[in-house]
């Protein structure tokens, strides 16, 4: 967010903030399958703060349900469920640097001994030269992940010869999980056999060049409190029934986490329902991200509401769905939804191990 720990100054001393987030999701299990007493939420708060220190951000606030702990950070969000850890950070944060410590703490406190799945993704940065190692290039990020994990796969969605693309690195079941070496002690090398997956889906909408009028809500001189910004912008109406934990940065910028008050049956018992939104409103580099795993009767309608709320000139849509879920981004179709005033400039649909992934790039016309 703007004016936070990761505020950046460019070469000509003009203010710039990189709103694009680095998103890391790690699922844990045990080699023997005995996970009933394992829980990532057993990691103490002090140790979570040690992880954040390596990432170069801070915990601002937290909220919880029986299924999920959610943390608003100085740079975006963290979610911890019994066996899934999600870290989403913007600015010049370094989330990949915390992986060895995270794995060590998981082994020490939670009872898990194996990474079941890992997903790392991000859109291309607006100012990659301002990032810190190992996040200056995706090749650099993939290299450090290759050193920690075996069997990872790196992908680029979108056009590599244009400014708009989305990167993904995955480690999936049945491949080596850790590579032990002198620098990383007690990281077991193991293979996971057939792993049962719960139904799971994640929708992400990454929006650029936002409507300046809609962005005014996220300046403190217009909306002094986060609650006012949440209501005035219509964020509270995107997915009803959320426990909202929101924060308005000074002088501008906004973050929120939402947790389901009543957990849908399809989410009950494994990792809980959430949504999260992060807003960098300055016109020169405006950026908004929206993410949720809450099942929807119509993802097309939800995306339409999100886009109408923020008014981007361009947005990227990504949709992960587990094979067990069997849902698609457009109900009853393998294509992507169409929206008035937007052209779909790029579509990629692929099957990863256990998941289907849809990527699409939208531009408002006339562009």
Q: List the catalytic residues.
A: 18, 21, 76, 90, 255, 278
Q: What are phi and psi of 258, to 5 degrees?
A: -125, 135
Q: Are 251 and 2 in contact (CB under 8 A)?
A: yes
Q: Is the torsion defined by CA of 156, 197, 103, 24 positive or negative? A: positive
Compute how many other C-beta atoms are within 10 angstroms of the C-beta atom of residue 264.
Answer: 12
* Cα–Cα dist 103/189, whole Å: 12
DSSP state of 330: B
Residue 98, SS3 per DSSP: helix
* Cα–Cα dist 109/47, whole Å: 10
Using alpha carbons, list the distances in angstroms from residue 157 to 13, 322, 359. 33, 19, 7
H runs (alpha helix) in the chain: 45-55, 99-109, 138-148, 212-215, 226-233, 299-310
DSSP string, 151-180: S-EEEEEE-TTSS-EEEEEEE-TTS-----
CA angle 290, 299, 159 (to 5 degrees): 65
Residue 79, SS3 per DSSP: strand
């Amino acid at each position: 967010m703007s004016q936070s720990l990761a505020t950046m100054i460019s070469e000509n001393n003009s203010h710039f903030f990189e709103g694009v987030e680095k998103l890391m999701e790690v699922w844990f299990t045990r080699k023997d399958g005995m996970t009933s007493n394992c829980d990532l939420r057993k990691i103490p708060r002090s140790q979570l703060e040690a992880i954040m220190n390596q990432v170069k951000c801070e915990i601002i606030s937290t909220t919880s349900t029986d299924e999920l702990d959610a943390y608003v950070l100085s740079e975006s969000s963290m979610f911890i469920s019994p066996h899934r850890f999600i870290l989403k950070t913007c600015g010049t944060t370094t989330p990949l640097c915390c992986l060895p410590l995270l794995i060590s703490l998981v082994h020490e406190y939670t009872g898990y001994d194996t990474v079941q799945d890992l997903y790392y993704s991000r859109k291309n940065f607006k100012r990659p030269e301002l990032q810190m190692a190992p996040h200056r290039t995706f090749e650099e990020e993939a290299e450090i992940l290759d050193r920690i994990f075996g069997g990872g796969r790196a992908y680029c969605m979108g056009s590599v010869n244009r400014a708009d693309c989305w990167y993904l690195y995955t480690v999936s079941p049945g491949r080596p999980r850790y590579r032990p070496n002198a620098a990383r002690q007690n990281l077991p090398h193991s293979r996971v056999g057939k792993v049962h997956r719960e139904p799971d889906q994640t929708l992400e909408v990454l929006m650029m060049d936002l409507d300046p009028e809609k962005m005014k809500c996220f300046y403190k001189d217009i909306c002094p409190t986060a609650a006012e910004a949440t209501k005035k912008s219509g964020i509270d109406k995107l997915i009803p029934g959320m426990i909202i934990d929101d924060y308005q940065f000074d002088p501008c910028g906004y973050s929120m986490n939402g947790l389901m008050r009543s957990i849908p049956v399809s989410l009950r018992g494994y990792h809980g329902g959430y949504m999260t939104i992060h807003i960098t409103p300055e016109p020169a580099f405006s950026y908004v991200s929206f993410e949720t795993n809450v099942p929807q009767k119509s993802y097309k309608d939800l995306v339409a509401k999100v886009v109408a709320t923020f008014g981007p000139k361009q947005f990227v849509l990504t949709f992960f769905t587990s094979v067990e879920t069997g849902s698609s981004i457009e109900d009853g179709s393998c294509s992507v939804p169409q929206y008035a005033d937007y052209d779909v400039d790029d579509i990629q649909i692929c099957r990863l191990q256990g998941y289907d992934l849809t990527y699409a790039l939208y531009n408002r016309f006339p562009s």
